[in-house]
Structure 1
Amino acid sequence: MTSVALGPTDQLDPRLLEHRRELTGYCYRMLGSAFDADDAVQETLVRAWRGLADFEGRSALRSWLYRIATNVCLDQLSGRQRRALPMDLSGSPWQPVEASLAARRPGTAWVEPVLDRQVLPEDADPAERAVIRESIRLAFIAALQHLPPRQRAVLILREVLRWKADEVAQLLDSTVASVNSALQRARATLAAAGGVLDPRPLDPDDQDLLDRYVEAFERYDIDAFVRLLHEDATQHMPPFEMWLRGASDIGAWMVGPGSACRDSVLIRVDANGSPAFAQYKPSQDGGRLPWALHELEVSGGRIAHITSFLDLDNGLFRQLGLPARVD
């Protein structure tokens, strides 16, 4: 047998490590959390290292790693409630007032963000990259959480990663008929939850919109900011349950309870296949500290939705590898 490890577990062969990014993307779709995905991939690589004697090259290394990763994710999901986004929990928008912040849930309740660079392959062709980018959008990830874990695995492997039915059946120790049946049920559930894959490249004209978004936010010109939004634009701010609908209510929030964001700076990143900005809010010592990761949905030349992941415990930016401070 040809070994794929180099002694200690912290010296894994590059042939194992070269699959880390795509495994992270797979585990993220399964678990809805970049942090849980990182843990799952670490566990996958450890199990792979420990199981080398049983591997013996009987299957492709990549397929074997996906089998391990699937089992790790299924173990993590056992008995766990699905992650969600605030708009999934309440059919009615909240009022843009301070009292709306009273309802808050722990981070484990929410779908969490991921940076594109953590999961998107560098060598994919443009068409494949567009599908993969769409498959990490927040709406799709939230819809995936409605599926039972094994159906989730089947759909991701078949629809996103383009595995053949017999390959998925072998990975899950199942049959082709069972895989096809699970895929059919998963597609129906996903469509009802709004999780249809529809690759949408960012229009070149949208870059001007994003530039104006940054300019309006950093100047805290709320009138200009509101003009960039659709009339029925929405916003939510995990870990709070509240969500807002309507450009006027979003503007009212920003000049009211959210006014402490004045004098912030935004740094462009790409997250969940969407344009995003890391917001740094002024601190008492004159610098700026992490506050929120804003992910935008653009439609028809305006902002349709804003997801603001608040970094209330100073852990989100650190775990995403974003700067801890802007001076």
Structure 2
Amino acid sequence: MDDIDDTTARALRTAWFRYLDTLEPLRAPLHAYCLRLTRDIWDAEDLVQDVLLKGFGMIGRGDLHGPGSPVANPRAYLFRCATHQWIDAQRRLARQRALPADPPPAPAPPPETARLGGEALFAVASPQARAAVILKDVFDFTLEEIADALRTTVGGVKSALRRGREALAEQAMTPQPSGRPGASPELVDRFVDAFRSRDVARLTAVLTETCSIEVPGVGGGRGRRGGWAEASVGHETHLRAAVYRGETVILFLDPEDRLYDVARLEEADGLVSRLIHHCFCPDTVQAIGGELGVETVSLGYHQQPETLVRMIATTTLPWGSEGLGAE
């Protein structure tokens, strides 16, 4: 690892952001597809980020041309990659559910919770059938393209479409509650109060020593001394807590009261152990703002050009000297 110096880091970072700019027209439809697959906003964004990262590595080491190229058609490749990763995750989940558990089984959820979670759908229609219907009926992929995405034949796609449509006709595409471990409302309130004080020491004290601070798509940092608090308190930003699908989250709003970032907290020993900013995930922010009835504004998929140039030149953390979400 000693051979990875600033020159290498700058080159990789430059290539990454150029790659994000090139793929920007595909981001919104990819996010919409992942959201329809997962039916969870956080899982959808995670899937998008995983697919983008995999695509970056694949393009960097593969041939863009020729009949055997997996990335010759970027749109088809990204959707195919998302499909494979989601189906593989569903298979792993199914295997885990089939394994005997040592602790006593948890009580069955109420019928409404089960319906919202989409369990009945997955019991009737396989993940492949669900993906086939979404690819065909929502995104207008051809049967041949879907067969390629699902690693099957056109005949197999037709069968999957028949099964999937029958199941989906009986299931409402209702949003499901978040199943992730969020921070307690009390800790969220402490965080918001500390931020509003614009006191770096007080804000830093809310974090664990090794707090993970993540900004999907552009990087992140670790620990209290990473510069996040110092960079954040200088912004004309106001915060408020909100409940989104049962989880208490933090809304970051600009001076015009427009939502530009949604942050999620995880907790350990009464402190913030993980902080995830979605300021450069505009599709996620827009979806959440729409559900909460809050006007949104997009910062784009990465920092503004002048900030990005300085960040690449110094290989600093995402917020650099200009701060997170600087405009």
Higher helix content, 1 or 2: 2
Report the TM-score, using the length of structure 1 for normalisation: 0.43
